[in-house]
Chains A and B, each alone.
Chain A
Amino acid sequence: QVQLVQSGAEVKKPGASVKVSCKGSGYNFVSYGINWVRQAPGQGLEWVGWISAYSGNKNYAQSLQGRVTMTTDTSTNTAYMELRSLRSDDTAVYYCARGDIAEPGIIDNWGQGTLVTVSS
């Protein structure tokens, strides 16, 4: 079955960087893209960005442009999301989620989420 397994919780200080991983299994990794979606405590869902595992094409939410970088490693079927210059309002659960190459917004499988806490 399709699985997306994310790395564990992180605690970071303001100004630091965090890199979250997401390993896919049970499907052809390069036939899909990976969306990253975050959810601050008690809040709704916010799209962070998307990367194609096939081409490496990517698009980021305008609010995070310049601070976020998404990559994939097709040799290990793993996607990564790095967020830099962390602020307290970046505290959230970060989800990776599979989207079809042709219809990337149809998100049919999600990782378990990674809690990133930014605190001094």
Chain B
Amino acid sequence: DIQMTQSPSSLSASVGDRVTITCQASQDIKNKLNWYQQKPGKAPKLLIYDVSNLETGVPSRFSGSGTGPDFTFTISSLQPEDFATYYCQQYDNLILPRITFGQGTRLDIK
């Protein structure tokens, strides 16, 4: 199975900061890499799909980049509502779908 190594596992930052999270795939994932935000007690929310495509309605301060196996998620200027846990996720659909999530990055207020 493909493993996704996400770092850091936690991060403290201030409003207005630029924040970067990385994710490394153990195999070629052909840019099938998505990013989600999860707030406590809530379901995850899709932010970025296929490395760099912004989901409809997601603010432009969120962005994604990279080519396999290393991918990056960036928040350009942190807002109070951005403090949450973020997950990368890969998927492949060669025969039948298979999905793996990264371990998550908890983003706290400094």
Contacts and interface: CB of A to CB of B under 8 A. Distances in A.
Given A44-B103, A50-B99, 20 more contacts: A35-B99, A45-B36, A45-B87, A45-B104, A47-B98, A47-B100, A57-B96, A59-B98, A62-B1, A95-B44, A103-B49, A103-B91, A104-B97, A104-B99, A105-B32, A105-B89, A105-B91, A105-B97, A106-B34, A107-B36
B43 A111 contact: yes
Interface in B30-75: 32, 34, 36, 38, 43-46, 49-50, 55
A113 B42 CA distance: 8
Interface of B: 1, 32, 34, 36, 38, 43-46, 49-50, 55, 87, 89-93, 96-104
B40 to A, nearest CB: 10
A45 B89 CA distance: 10
A104 B43 contact: no
